[in-house]
Each structure stands twice: as C-alpha cells, then as structure tokens.
C-alpha cells in the first residue's frame, strides 16, 4: 500500500519550532464537512477518552453508564478517576447477534441523578454496531440528564452505509464523538485521533486543543493519508470481504459460531483447544478469561494468504479432534462482563 509513499520531510524550522497550524485539521474539516470549531485533534482517541472520563469525575452526582462487555480500558480510566459507574448490558441472541437491552438502559438512566452515557459503536470485543436509530434514541434519553460519549474508533468497516460525522453532530444532542485514525488508516504508532462535538460539549468535557500544537510529523502523515483515502477505502473493502469470507467459513463448521461484525476483526465461539492450535502454528488470536465469552476468540482480519492458512489449519484441527455441537443456549442470554483488553 505505502511502498510508493514518500514519507513527510520536516524542515529544520519545523523541527525546532512549535507548530504554526495544522494541515490535518483543515483536511479533516473538509473531508467530514464539519466546522473546525467542532473538531479537536488528540494524541489518539485514548487521550480524548481519558480527558472526557476524567471530566465526569468533576460533574456533580454524575454516573457513567458503560456497556458490558466492553474495552477494559474504559473501566480502568473510570476507576483511576474515581468515577461512579453502572453497566448496561448486551444480550446474545440465538442468531449470532449482540443486542442492547434498551429497557434495562432506560431504567438505569431514570434512576440516576445525572448521566454520562458511554456508547461504543462498533463494539470491542463484540464487533457489533448499534444501528443509527437506536443510537439516536440512547443519546436523546441521556441528554435529558446529561451527556453521551460515542466511541467510533472502529468506524469505516461496516460494509454498508454509516451516518456521516456531520449528520451525527447536527442530530445528536450533547454528544462527544471520539474517532481514531489508528484502525482505518493503520497508523497506531503515530497516535492520531480527534474529537467531534459542539464547543459547549467540548468545554463540558474539558476538551481543549494542545496549547503548543499537534505533533508535526503525525499531522503531515495523517493529512497525506486523507488525501489518499480512496486507497485506504479499497483496503477496508478487502478487509470486509475477508471478514465475510471467514464468517461464512466458520458458519459452515460444527462447533464454531461467528458473531456479526462491523469491525476489522471477527469474534468467534470455538471448540476447546482451537486457539492453542492456531498459536502453535504461528496465528495469534485474542482469547478471553471470563466464562461468558471465554470460549470465543477475536481474530483480526488478515490478508487473503493468511485467511487461507487459517482455513487450512482449521481443517486440520477439525479432522484431528472430536468436535461437539455448541451447548444449546437460551434464545437470549445476558452478557455480564466487566471488560476485556483490546
């Protein structure tokens, strides 16, 4: 992808002096059709989440409602800042989906004096994306008593239409949206993220631009990637194709159950010993310790050649062990887990 890319070169002046402005901010504003005053660059989405969750600790009587299961770091940040937290839950359906229990969420919002609702869509580690209509309902419920934080780190991999950032800003009241360039543009090492929110909501969460500016190299590199967005879009499309291929493959096997995903990874319920089999053969997957999804693995979607290797290794595994059907489960089962690492 980037073999023909000439990496940004900084002049001596650009290295020695503080940044005079941000090319990336201008291009983000144009790309998403959002006023620059509604954007703020961050050292990765993680920095924005850290500041925002820290700000919740200063909101009198505020309760942070967080999805469960979810990314472990949310809980670590809330604990570090002493934020009062209450989980709301996904429920696993019989057709390989995770859905939010909206009645339970509404009840928890009603019981709280003041609310900050954290929405992770798409979700890590589940991979599911909450539909736009449901997100609007959730945000509107929360706005009556506070704010929402919407983490869209994995945006861009749904394989279908997603609500634009501009539309989100115009229609989601009192919402702080965090995004990252780490996943879609593959630049996790440069720590580039941003926040989208009205100036009033940014102020409520203590979101301010860095006084001395944003990293000059990361700014130039990310700006160039936006210019070449169509190339990354092609890569994202291949990722979606790979994900659907793996999902279809696992669906055909006894003892495996893939869950619907809108991310660059796939969560799969697998037989005992499968993760170890892949690991012994050089394929690393994410495993979980909690019993509720402890029989699942999370597979980041690799290139086609690695997908073929995974399929071959899986065929070998299935032919060498006795595979039993998945234990029958209720049509709807609550997932009640604190969190998992990314």
pLDDT of residue 77: 97
Tell me the two tokens of residue 76.
């670590």
Q: In the chain, list all ranges with CATH 3.90.1150.10.
A: 232-319
Integer Cα distance of 81 and 221 in angstroms: 33
- The answer to whether 172 touches 148, Cβ cutoff 8 Å, is yes
Q: Quick check: helix, strand or coil at residue 200? A: helix
Q: What backbone phi and psi angles, to 5 degrees, belong to 179?
A: -135, 160
User: Does the predicted model carry a pTM greater than 0.85?
Assistant: yes
**Nearest Cα residue to 235 out of 189, 292, 284, 186:** 186
- At the top level of CATH, the class of 12-227 is alpha beta
Angle at 235 between CA 230 and CA 237, to 5 degrees: 90
State whether residue 177 is helix, strand or coil.
strand
Q: Crossing angle for the helix pair 229-251 and 304-320, nearest 10 degrees?
A: 10
CATH 3.40.640.10 domain span(s) along the chain: 12-227
Q: How do residues 49-90 score in pLDDT, each as one tens digit?
A: 999 999 999 999 999 999 988 899 999 999 999 999 999 999
CATH code at 232-319: 3.90.1150.10
pLDDT of residue 11: 84
Per-residue burial over 2-22, b = 16 or more CB atoms within 10 Å of its CB, e = otherwise: eeeeeebeeeeebeeeeeeeb
Going by their DSSP bridges, the two strands 175-180 and 146-151 should be labelled as parallel
What does each of the 342 residues of the chain score in pLDDT, given as a tens digit? 555 666 778 888 888 888 888 999 999 999 999 999 999 999 999 999 999 999 999 999 999 999 988 899 999 999 999 999 999 999 888 777 889 999 999 999 999 999 999 999 999 999 999 999 999 999 999 999 999 999 999 999 998 778 999 999 999 999 999 999 999 999 999 999 999 999 999 999 999 887 788 999 999 999 999 999 999 999 999 999 999 999 999 999 999 999 999 999 999 999 999 999 999 999 999 998 776 788 999 999 999 999 999 999 999 999 988 776 555 343 344 443 333 334
């Amino acid at each position: 992808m980037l073999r023909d890319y000439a990496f940004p070169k900084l002049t001596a002046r650009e290295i020695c002096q503080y940044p005079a402005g941000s090319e990336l901010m201008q291009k983000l504003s144009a790309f998403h059709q959002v006023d620059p005053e509604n954007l703020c660059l961050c050292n990765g989405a993680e920095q924005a989440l850290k500041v925002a969750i820290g700000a919740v600790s200063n909101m009198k009587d505020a309760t942070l409602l967080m999805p469960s299961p979810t990314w472990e770091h949310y809980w670590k940040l809330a604990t570090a800042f002493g934020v009062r937290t209450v989980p709301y839950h996904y429920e696993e359906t019989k057709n390989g989906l995770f859905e939010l229990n909206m009645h339970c969420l509404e009840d928890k919002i009603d019981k709280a004096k003041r609310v900050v609702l954290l929405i992770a869509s798409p979700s890590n580690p589940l991979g599911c994306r909450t539909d736009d209509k449901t997100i609007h309902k959730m945000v509107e419920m929360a706005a009556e008593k506070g704010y929402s934080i919407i983490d869209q780190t994995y945006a861009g991999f749904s394989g279908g239409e997603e609500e634009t950032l501009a539309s989100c800003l115009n229609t989601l009241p009192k919402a702080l949206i965090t995004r990252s360039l780490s996943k879609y543009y593959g630049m996790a090492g440069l720590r580039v993220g941003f926040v989208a929110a009205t100036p009033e909501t940014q102020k409520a969460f203590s979101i301010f631009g860095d006084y001395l500016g944003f990293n000059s190299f990361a700014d130039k590199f990310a700006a160039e990637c936006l210019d070449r967005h169509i190339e990354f879009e092609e890569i994202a499309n291949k990722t979606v194709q790979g994900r659907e291929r793996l999902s279809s493959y696992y669906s055909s096997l006894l003892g495996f159950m893939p869950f619907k995903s809108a991310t660059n990874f796939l969560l799969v319920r697998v037989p005992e010993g499968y993760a170890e089999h892949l690991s012994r053969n050089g394929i690393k997957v994410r495993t979980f310790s909690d019993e509720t999804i402890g029989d699942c693995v999370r597979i980041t979607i690799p290139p086609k050649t690695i997908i073929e290797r995974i399929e071959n290794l899986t065929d070998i595994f299935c032919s060498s062990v006795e595979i039993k059907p998945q234990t029958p489960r209720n049509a709807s089962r609550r997932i009640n887990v604190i969190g998992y690492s990314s």
